[in-house]
Amino acid sequence: MTQNKSDIPSYPHRDLLGIEGLSPIEISFLLDRSEAFVEHNRQQTSKKLDTLYGRTVVNLFFENSTRTRTSFELAAKRLGADVINMTVESSSIKKGETLIDTAMTLNAMHPDVLVVRHSESGAVKLLSEKVNCAVISGGDGSHEHPTQALLDALTIRRRRGDLAALTVAICGDVVHSRVARSNIHLLNTMGAQVRLIAPKTLLPTKIETMGATVYNNMEEGLKDCDIVMMLRLQKERMQSNFFPSTREYFHFFGLTYEKLANTKPDALIMHPGPMNRGVEIDSEVADDYGRSVIREQVEMGVAVRMACLETMCPIGNDDKGASES
């Protein structure tokens, strides 16, 4: 924590592994910290701060992701930290033991923050238990992707002022989506109404127990909602065929102006990217910057990651991290 944060509500966790379990105050704390960085990042002059000068952030990606890695790298460098990128191909590691060995190896090098992405749910948590530095999840399997949910929330909050009274429809490949899970947790915690719209084959069983209303039809599900969050069709995660063709998928579940007509007139369109244009979203709709905030989401991503890195990175003689591990 930085020195001048002593009078604001503290964030009491060493790590950020998911949204589940965070309180509304903790989420708001991270969003408020992020807010400050948005304008900072827009100025024409030097955007570099020295908040994390001399600190080392390691991007440990067991699953390739140019966008998320770049966003974290940029965020860390803007705060003055040194960044080390490690992309570990899943083919070159044996699971379980080697993950732990990698964690312990890195830990012995005394980094300040580990940003970890892994293709298996739970792997980031497992790794976090073996190190005594802060760990921020960059997404694990189909479990959680907490910084994505935070950047989505920041985007919505800046446009709508408050999350509480909104109806948010999350549409598409819910079963494979860590983005959906993190957003369901966050939106529920902040008092929004969550709807899930997907074909039955792309919905996990008992998903209603997470606190969402389920629809299998876009027209019904989108009715009067404030926010439409489209999900990327995770073709690479599909073990079998979940629907006959992408053409048919687009017909029933792709976001078009026709289907959009069911939402409130000013409903925002969101997508975590990268988009499959013409599959889950019509290209024109995606580029309709009167309503689509897809570019803003990317921009908020850097601000949110700066806030998370600044919050998690222990400063000076604050030894919270060590005592909790």
What does the binding site for a copy of itself look like in residue numbers (CB under 8 A)? 41-42, 44-48, 53-56, 58, 66-67, 70-71, 73-74, 77-78, 82, 84, 86, 88, 97-98, 101, 104-111, 273-275, 277, 283, 295-296, 298-299, 301-302, 314-319, 322
- d(C-alpha 154, C-alpha 150), whole Å: 6
Calculate ∠ Cα 279-186-81, nearest 5°: 90
Q: Output the smallest distance, CB 36 to a copy of itself, in A.
A: 15
- d(C-alpha 171, C-alpha 262), whole Å: 14
Name the residue type at position 77: K
In the three-class reduction of DSSP (H, G, I as helix; E, B as strand; rest coil), residue 91 is classed as: helix
Q: Output the smallest distance, CB 284 to a copy of itself, in A.
A: 12
- Smaller CB distance to a copy of itself: residue 104 or 165? 104
| Long-range contacts, stretch 212-219, CB < 8 angstroms, 24+ apart | 212/170, 212/184, 212/188, 215/169, 218/171, 218/252, 218/253, 218/255, 218/259, 218/262, 219/259, 219/262
- Smaller CB distance to a copy of itself: residue 26 or 73? 73
- Smaller CB distance to a copy of itself: residue 104 or 261? 104
How far from 70 is each of 60, 83, 131, 235, CA to CA, in Å?
Answer: 12, 11, 24, 23
In the three-class reduction of DSSP (H, G, I as helix; E, B as strand; rest coil), residue 77 is classed as: helix
Q: Output the smallest distance, CB 295 to a copy of itself, in A.
A: 5
Q: Output the smallest distance, CB 38 to a copy of itself, in A.
A: 10
121 phi/psi in degrees, rounded to 5: -60, 135
Q: Output the smallest distance, CB 206 to a copy of itself, in A.
A: 35
- Smaller CB distance to a copy of itself: residue 18 or 111? 111
- Smaller CB distance to a copy of itself: residue 214 or 298? 298
The pair of three-digit structure tokens given for residue 313, joined into one six-digit string? 């990175």
Helix (H) or strand (E) holding 187: helix 178-189
DSSP class of residue 205 equals T
CB atoms within 10 A of CB 1: 17
Q: Output the smallest distance, CB 289 to a copy of itself, in A.
A: 10
- d(C-alpha 107, C-alpha 60), whole Å: 12
- Smaller CB distance to a copy of itself: residue 42 or 247? 42
- Smaller CB distance to a copy of itself: residue 244 or 316? 316
Q: How far is CA 136 from the centre of its chain?
A: 11
How far from 172 is each of 136, 137, 201, 224, 273, CA to CA, in Å?
Answer: 26, 23, 10, 18, 13
Q: Output the smallest distance, CB 211 to a copy of itself, in A.
A: 31
Q: Output the smallest distance, CB 39 to a copy of itself, in A.
A: 11
- Smaller CB distance to a copy of itself: residue 39 or 205? 39
Q: Output the smallest distance, CB 236 to a copy of itself, in A.
A: 10
- Smaller CB distance to a copy of itself: residue 195 or 232? 232
